[in-house]
Structure 1
Amino acid sequence: MVKIYTDKDASLEPIKDKTIAVLGYGSQGHAWALNLRDSGLKVLVGLEREGKSWEQAKKDGFNPMHTEDAVKNADIIIFLLPDMVQRTVYLERVKPHLRSGNDLVFAHGFNIHYRLIEPPKDVDVYMIAPKGPGPIVREYFVKGGGVPALVAVHQNYSGKALEKALAIAKALGATRAGVIETTFKEETETDLFGEQVDLVGGITQLMRSAFQVLVEAGYQPEIAYYETINEMKMIVDLIYEKGFSGMFKAVSDTAKYGGLTAGKYVIDESVKKRMKEVLDRIRSGEFANQWIEEYGKGAPTLVKGVQELENSLEEKVGREVREISLRGKPKS
């Protein structure tokens, strides 16, 4: 049985006298900096440029500084920058100022697992990966709750890396829910796999394909959108709250029977075979190499794909349907 760490298993003691530099002030950086500070820790915000994030950090009561200045003054350095920016920032802004005994902390294992960043041996390297977007990490914390997280230790120079990882998890509010120990390898590979075949790639293509089949068969796009895309949120919410069996109990017997029979026909063994191929590409490093090469060219495939999605019939119809749905949403 997996070990679940909660508040009683973690203490802020290992980091209470440390200075923490949060590099980046986007979705996660904003949430982490505020949660850590509200937990009584000393937090610096390090940024590459004096833009919108800089101004937002000032509004939030921080005194933002350039990345290298934050690093020079920190004991714990937390990377909350986009994956493909971290290597350059590390080499140019962080590595020259690292001291023996510093901590390098990540929210995702990509750069360490694929050896884009190779830290010196005399620093601790660990990860806290909240299983939710930054705004939710902040919202749950403010309301007295917390988003579950994963923790992992890559390098334990001090002998106390896990204790410090759990301390940061506690300061984020994660131990209020539960924290599971993993490895950089497991977190990176499962995270990428989930994004690609299910959460981002798979679910988007499934919904778009279902929508297109109905429209091509002559059904009204608005009706098709409701049936194949809009209702997905309600189904996923049921699964989130009650599991698959709970969701099945909430739908009609006709939906149960149709779902059990047609679902296995559409998502069959050939789909699982291709999912395994995707996992093989992730585990071998092929995907990482491809993405690094793509990013170096300016990410043309990514830009083209997002533009195509934004200009699709699904999005045009979706904007209209979402407006109708929002009008009926109860006031909170």
Structure 2
Amino acid sequence: MVKIYYDNDVTYDAVKDKVIAVIGYGSQGRAQASNMKDSGLNVIVGLRPEGKSWKLAVEEGHEVKTIEEAAKEADIIHLLIPDEVQPTVYRKYIEKHLTEGKTLSFSHGYNIHYKFIVPPENVNVTMVAPKSPGAMVRKTYLEGFGVPGLVAVYQDYTGEALNIALGMAKAIGLTRVGVIETTFREETETDLFGEQVVLCGGVTELIKAAFETLVEAGYSPEMAYFETCHELKLIVDLIYQKGLKGMWENVSNTAEYGGLTRRKRIINEESRKAMKEILKEIQDGRFAKEWSLENIAGKPHLNALRRLEEEHEIEKVGKKLRKMCGLEK
């Protein structure tokens, strides 16, 4: 059974007297830094002086320093910049200031798990990970609620690593809903698998394949878009709110029967075999190595794939229909 922590299980004792440097002020950095500050913790934000986020963070009431200055001053360094740039920033600005007893914290276990960052043995290494985009982390906090989250400890030098992670989670608002204790390995591998197989990779390819099938059969692109893309949000919202069973109870009997009797012709044994192969690539580090080399080369493959995605007919039709629906200006 997993261990779940709630507000009453956690105190601020391990973090109340510590300086927390949030490195980065993107979606997660902005939300987490603001929530922790509003919860009374001592937060500074570490940014590039020339970065566009510096002015915004100052305007929103934060004490802002360069990444190196923040790392030097902080007791807890919470690294919330993109995975692919973390190792360079760590080596250049943070490593020299990661002195004995400090805590290096993340919201994704990627660089620790795959050893792109190897901290010294005399520091804590922890993770506090909201299971939500940053905007929702902030919005729900301000509403007096929160989003669920994860905590993990990779290295516990001081004996307080878990309490530090939990104190930060409480300040972000995660324990209002519930925080699950996990490991860096489990969080990293399941996160990558979910993104690649379902949330980002699988669902977009399913939408495009279904769209193309209808258009090639002579149906209008507009009708194809509505049926294969636009209405997906309605179904996902039902699943999010009510689970799979609740979704089936809220669609027509025709949709339920058709879906239940045909779905395994789409997600079949070949699909499941491919999922297992993708999981293996994540587990043995092949994906991480591929992504590292892609970044070293300047992201040529990713940039080419982005261009192809932008040029697909579904994007042209979708842009027009989203404007019609008031979803896009």
Give the TM bin, normalised by the shorter chain: over 0.9
String of CA shifts for 1:1-45, please: whole Å, max 9, x gaps. 322110011111110010010001111110111001000011111
Give the whole-Å Cα distance in 2 for the aligned partners of 1:223 and 1:319: 14
Q: State the match for 2:280 in structure 1.
A: 280
Q: CA deviation at 1:323?
A: 2.0
The DSSP-based 3-state class of the residue aligned with 1:162 is helix
Give the whole-Å Cα distance in 1 for the aligned partners of 2:213 and 2:289: 35
Q: State the match for 1:300 in structure 2.
A: 300
- The question of whether the paired residues in 1 share the 8 Å contact of 2:25 and 2:57 is answered with yes
- The question of whether the paired residues in 1 share the 8 Å contact of 2:192 and 2:282 is answered with yes
Amino acid at match of 1:2: V
Q: State the match for 2:246 in structure 1.
A: 246
Q: State the match for 2:107 in structure 1.
A: 107
Give the whole-Å Cα distance in 2 for the aligned partners of 1:5 and 1:27: 24
Q: Name stretches of at least 5 consecutive residues in structure 2 with no aligned partner.
A: none
The DSSP-based 3-state class of the residue aligned with 1:140 is helix
Give the whole-Å Cα distance in 2 for the aligned partners of 1:326 and 1:171: 36
Q: CA deviation at 1:324?
A: 2.6
Amino acid at match of 2:5: Y
Amino acid at match of 1:96: K
Pairs within 5 Å for 1:176-191 = 176-191=176-191
- The question of whether the paired residues in 1 share the 8 Å contact of 2:4 and 2:178 is answered with yes
Amino acid at match of 1:94: I
Amino acid at match of 1:264: K
Q: CA deviation at 1:65?
A: 1.3
Q: State the match for 1:59 in structure 2.
A: 59
Q: State the match for 1:45 in structure 2.
A: 45
Q: CA deviation at 1:51?
A: 2.3
The DSSP-based 3-state class of the residue aligned with 2:325 is helix
Q: State the match for 1:330 in structure 2.
A: none
Q: Does 1:195 align with 2:195?
A: yes
Give the whole-Å Cα distance in 1 for the aligned partners of 2:63 and 2:266: 54
The DSSP-based 3-state class of the residue aligned with 2:101 is coil
Give the whole-Å Cα distance in 2 for the aligned partners of 1:189 and 1:169: 21
Q: CA deviation at 1:98?
A: 1.6
Pairs within 5 Å for 1:133-144 = 133-144=133-144
Q: State the match for 1:78 in structure 2.
A: 78
String of CA shifts for 1:101-137, please: whole Å, max 9, x gaps. 1000000000000001111111010001110111111
String of CA shifts for 1:59-92, please: whole Å, max 9, x gaps. 1112321111001111000000100111111111
Q: CA deviation at 1:302?
A: 1.1
Q: State the match for 2:314 in structure 1.
A: 314
Give the whole-Å Cα distance in 1 for the aligned partners of 2:98 and 2:235: 48
Give the whole-Å Cα distance in 1 for the aligned partners of 2:225 and 2:240: 22
Question: Percentage identity across aligned positions?
Answer: 55
Q: State the match for 1:257 in structure 2.
A: 257
Amino acid at match of 2:181: E
Q: State the match for 1:12 in structure 2.
A: 12
The DSSP-based 3-state class of the residue aligned with 1:46 is strand
Amino acid at match of 1:241: Q
Q: Does 1:210 align with 2:214?
A: no
Q: CA deviation at 1:257?
A: 1.0
Amino acid at match of 1:219: Y
Amino acid at match of 2:306: V
- The question of whether the paired residues in 1 share the 8 Å contact of 2:43 and 2:63 is answered with no
Q: CA deviation at 1:308?
A: 1.4
Q: CA deviation at 1:255?
A: 0.6
Q: CA deviation at 1:179?
A: 0.5
Give the whole-Å Cα distance in 1 for the aligned partners of 2:53 and 2:77: 18
Give the whole-Å Cα distance in 1 for the aligned partners of 2:66 and 2:293: 28
- The question of whether the paired residues in 1 share the 8 Å contact of 2:222 and 2:321 is answered with yes
Q: State the match for 2:147 in structure 1.
A: 147
Amino acid at match of 1:10: V
Give the whole-Å Cα distance in 1 for the aligned partners of 2:326 and 2:168: 37
Q: State the match for 2:157 in structure 1.
A: 157
Q: CA deviation at 1:245?
A: 0.7
Give the whole-Å Cα distance in 2 for the aligned partners of 1:323 and 1:6: 42
The DSSP-based 3-state class of the residue aligned with 1:21 is strand
Give the whole-Å Cα distance in 2 for the aligned partners of 1:245 and 1:111: 37
The DSSP-based 3-state class of the residue aligned with 1:64 is strand
Q: Kindly report structure 1 stretches of 4+ aligned residues shifted beyond 6 Å.
A: none
